[in-house]
Structure 1
Amino acid sequence: MDELGARAAALVARHPRDARLRRVGTSREGTPLWLLSVGHGSRQALVVAGPHANEPVGGATVLRVAERALADPRLCEGADATWNLLLCLDPDGARRNEAWLSGPYTLGNYFRHFFRPGFLEQPEWLPEGVDGATLPETRALLDLQDELRPFLQCSLHGVDVGGAFVELTRELPGIAQRVAHTATRLGIPRELGPYDTLYWPSLGPAVYRIPPPRRGDLAAAITEAAVESTWFHPHPYGTVTAVVEAPMWGVAAVEDPTRPADAATALRTVSHTLRRDTGLLEGILARVRPVLGGSPDVARLLAPVDDYLLVGPGLADSWDPDLCHAGARPLPPLTIARLTALRLAGRRVALRTAGLLHQLVTGSGHDPRGVLPELDRLIDEWCADYRDGCGAHWIPVARQVEYQARVVLAVFDLAGRHARVPSRSSETGWGSQAAVPMHRE
């Protein structure tokens, strides 16, 4: 976080006429939220980095985009545009991931130092609606959206293991071809059936339409983001929101569109594995919870653990072909890409939970229940499955950043061509679209 702020300040010092840095809010722990603005056009583009604490690529991407905008007049004066780049929406959570940012870039190092706050503390979500938003990071972003009324908003995310994809609140013809070209040039797999978008409409390969929010219980909200969000808050202004996902570890099978020979057996394996892994972790948590204490740091780590253990069994049941029942939501047609995405998602739930439990125990300074060897064995075993069973391979940071920056610029170009003037109906609601569940990993 310190390096990100210093580099942004240095960029402003080199370009004092066209770039500026201002504080737009303060995090829960008192960290400034910095907005880097480039250009002086009347049309506002907003790019939000770091909405998820464990996804650091966006910080480097906004600096890359700022440098490109300063170097290319077509991106500012020529487009009558100002770029507004929020360096990090969750700086407190981002700092808790810094232990793995300097490497080595191994799956084991990542998951042992992984942190992402519980669902209710993730600043993009509005589970109680706009009026009920209490996180200062969320309020800062909402205020910024209302101030700028951007024609484009990009939310920069990182897939830990999988492939690249884009999610949109409005259709942008041509974006699927741009994504395909960029991903192919940079050797990055595209996800053709992400877990996040399992029930969402497709707008082309690796591009998906974000349905309007709906009300749901907490478990549904955690797995499907079935709540209002800062993605949709500026919708009445005619804003196009694009969620740009760039993978850290790539898996080639996520772009395999072929049908599997025996989808039911594969689904059964994924479901049973997640159910077994969740049971193991529930047992470990039951052993260590009584000795962890009640400090704020412990509570911060326990919140996502409880979230993952809450949703794991339900996900396993929803994927299990032996548990299908009348009225259940059927899975979409299964391809190798979709089955791979479900396998990655199930393993992700278990690994994140194990990594957080590992931090809880190591942070306490002692292991009275003797669980660390078991957690280390599970993390090593599950990371080996990602690496050897799924073919997960590290994508260099420079390529992650270049991919994400190019997609942001492509979305900017296409959104500028299809900019909308808000209609009377768009100012009062989401229109007549059917409410399809939002699915968010």
Structure 2
Amino acid sequence: MVDQVSKIVGAVERIDSFPTVDELSEYVDKLVDAVPGRVTVTEIGRSRGGDPIREVRVGSGARQVVVIGNPHPNEPIGMATIRHLLGRLTADDAQTLGATWHFVLCLDPDGTRLNEGWFAAARTRTGVARDFYRPPAAEQPEWCFPTSWRGTAVGTPLPETRALMGLIDRTRPGLIVSLHNADFGGGFFYTTGGDPDYWTELTDQLTTAGVPIYDGEPDVPGASTWAPGVFELPSFQRIAETLVADGVEPLAMMYGGGIRDYATPHGTALLVCELPMWVDSRVTDNTPSGHSLASVLCSTATAYEEIADIVSGVLDRISERLTGRSPFERALTDTVRALRGNAIAKRSATESCTATLGEIFIENYVWIGVARLRAGGMLLRLLDEELRHEPSAEVAAERAHFAAVFEKWCTDIETNAPGQPIPVHSLVTIQSSAIVTAVGRLRGGLPL
């Protein structure tokens, strides 16, 4: 199977940027003209902003596979991966592994367009932060599926979510692959099952590319660990129960079910690929630190609260200017809510084991560092947006004050954890190989 995966994936073109929404769509249009009869493009819905949600179908086998690009708009590796796989699969029908493939080019085109400023730029952690956008939880299509919690209906599907629901109901897929990327740290995967061979095949893709395997705690509450770098994708119910146990109100943190919740009645297996854009070998340093893990997590909670206080303070002081029209305002309000909830969960940890230096590094420069860069970049974009809309000495003063804080955060990252950017072609190779591995197992009737 390893040889077959390598043959199907082939050599990935060396590229320095991620495709934009329009570039990927134009590529597909040209592909339809180049290989007529092998590609079918269907508009399965429209985004809230009016962009088409396009599904590209390749192959004609009985097994159905859905691959989702950009479920989160700041995670564009998947769009580059889809472009590569479309080129490979349409070149030879035998490459489809007896499946019908349904590629959702970009699930959130509106949000993706707000990130495109960094897709072709020199990729630094702080450079990306300055053009960063991530929607609030209630505006994330992959987490707005209808479900219920203790008798309460949860989840109002967005137009993008409804488009995906229709595709799932129509195809009843054996496998859904959702293509994500982490910012910094190691690579990891979520699955709904499998076996040690499968999990090793997935993480071997990381090792081959020189990407560290993330072996810390999963970032989704309630997720179990199948193997180092491979976690179980939990249901909404499991996540909610875990949050309750941590003293957090689930419906204050989540606004709907995930794909697993919706696709489970169809017997669908899921694979989520989480790849970092930067790496640092310190994430795998297992040297004991002399500090308990609980105390380290408590420090993270304090840092989360400090970020939330800074952001909410700015929002409060300019509240008379804010109308809710800005995606950055909505995202930041949600960021404050999430940081406070995550702080409660971190502070509830009681692990008495000694934290490793790697775990401390991850808390400081993955979780805290990412939170600072994301919140800071979006807050500056909001303030700039407000100044363009209606110049104000008050807003200009807030911007100047916060810009100094943000520059300190950026200097800390650039000095202590800039990371080594992973070449785009390596990221595409890992994701493509993981997808083909899973589809090969689907064909062979192996657990996923």
Query: 1:199 offset after TM fit, Å?
Result: 4.4
Q: 2:284 aligns with which of 249, 255, 273?
A: 255
1:284 aligns with 2:344: no
Q: For residue 432 of structure 1, what is the aligned residue in structure 2?
A: none
Distance 1:398 1:420, change over 3 A: closer
Matched, 1:234 2:263: yes
Q: List per-residue Cα deviations over 1:359-411 (Å, max 9, x = no partner).
A: 11101223523122333233332233334323522222222222211111122
Deviation, structure 1 residue 40 = 1.2
Measured at CA, do residues 315 and 384 of structure 1 come closer, stay the same or move farther in structure 2, by a change above 3 Å?
same
Residue 156 in structure 1 maps to residue 179 in structure 2: yes
Q: Which amino acid aligns with 2:292?
A: A
Please name the residue that 1:275 is paired with. 305
1:114 maps to 132
Q: For 1:195 and 1:287, how far apart are their aligned partners in 2?
A: 36
- Alpha-carbon distance change, 356 to 183 in structure 1, aligned in 2, over 3 angstroms: same
Give 1:240's aligned amino acid: A
> Which residue identity does 1:281 align to in structure 2?
V
Match of 1:417 in 2: 444
What SS class does the counterpart of residue 438 from structure 2 fall into? helix
Return the alpha-carbon distance in structure 2 between the equivalents of residues 335 and 226 of structure 1.
34
CA contact (8 A) 2:253 2:341 kept: no
Post-superposition shift, 1:88?
Answer: 0.4
Question: Once the 2 structures are TM-superposed, how far is the Cα of residue 157 of structure 1 from its aligned partner?
Answer: 0.5
Alignment of 1:20-419 (within 5 A): 20-71=40-91, 73-76=93-96, 79-126=97-144, 128-129=146-147, 133-197=156-220, 199-214=222-237, 215=240, 221=250, 227-264=256-293, 265-292=295-322, 294=323, 296=325, 298=326, 300-320=327-347, 328=348, 330-331=350-351, 334-343=355-364, 344-364=366-386, 365=388, 366=391, 368-369=393-394, 370-418=397-445
Structure 2 residue matching 1:234: 3-state secondary structure: helix
CA distance 1:337–1:367, change in 2 (3 Å)? farther
* Aligned-partner Cα distance in 1 for 2:258–2:321: 36
Alpha-carbon distance between aligned partners in 2 of 1:349 and 1:123, rounded to the nearest angstrom: 21
- Give the residue type in structure 1 aligned to 2:370: R
CA distance in 2, matches of 1:269, 1:330: 13
CA distance in 2, matches of 1:380, 1:407: 38
Assess, with a 3 A threshold, how the Cα gap between structure 1 residues 183 and 353 changes in structure 2: closer, same or farther.
same
Give the deviation of 1:82 after TM superposition: 1.1
CA distance in 2, matches of 1:249, 1:208: 21
Aligned residues: 409
Q: Distance in 2 between matches of 1:174 and 1:13?
A: 40
- 1:314 is displaced (CA, Å) by 3.5
Between the aligned partners of 1:41 and 1:395, the Cα distance in structure 2 is 35
**How far apart, CA to CA, are the structure 2 residues paired with 1:252 and 1:71?**
38
Higher mean displacement: 385-394 or 6-15: 385-394
C-alpha displacement of 1:74: 4.4
Taking the aligned partners of 2:196 and 2:352, their CA distance within structure 1 comes to 24
Contact 1:238 1:420 in 2 (8 A): no
Residue 18 (structure 1) aligned with residue 38 (structure 2): yes
Q: What corresponds to 1:433 in structure 2?
A: none
Cα distance between partner residues in 2 of 1:289 and 1:224:
23
Residues 23 and 33 of structure 1 are in contact (CA less than 8 Å); yes or no, is this contact kept in structure 2?
Answer: yes
TM-score by length of 1: 0.84
Q: C-alpha displacement at 1:22, in angstroms?
A: 1.4
Q: Return 5+ residue gaps in structure 2 as ranges.
A: 1-20
Unaligned runs of 5+ in 1: 321-327, 422-441
CA contact (8 A) 1:35 1:87 kept: yes
Shift in CA distance, 21/386, structure 1 to aligned 2, threshold 3 Å: same
Q: Distance in 2 between matches of 1:30 and 1:279?
A: 35
Please say if residues 65 and 405 of structure 1, whose CA atoms lie closer than 8 Å, have aligned partners that are also in contact: yes
Scaled by the length of structure 2, what TM-score is found? 0.83
Which sits farther off after the overlay, 17-26 or 139-148?
17-26
My pick for the range that moved more, 368-377 or 94-103, is 368-377
Partners of 1:278 and 1:312 within 8 A in 2 = yes
Aligned to 2:260, the other structure's residue is in SS state: coil
Q: Deviation digits for residues 33-76 of structure 1, max 9, x if unmatched? A: 11111111111110000110111111111111222223455432
Tell me how far apart the structure 2 counterparts of residues 332 and 212 of structure 1 sit (CA, whole Å).
28
Between the aligned partners of 1:71 and 1:84, the Cα distance in structure 2 is: 16
Conserved 8 A contact 1:198-1:332: no
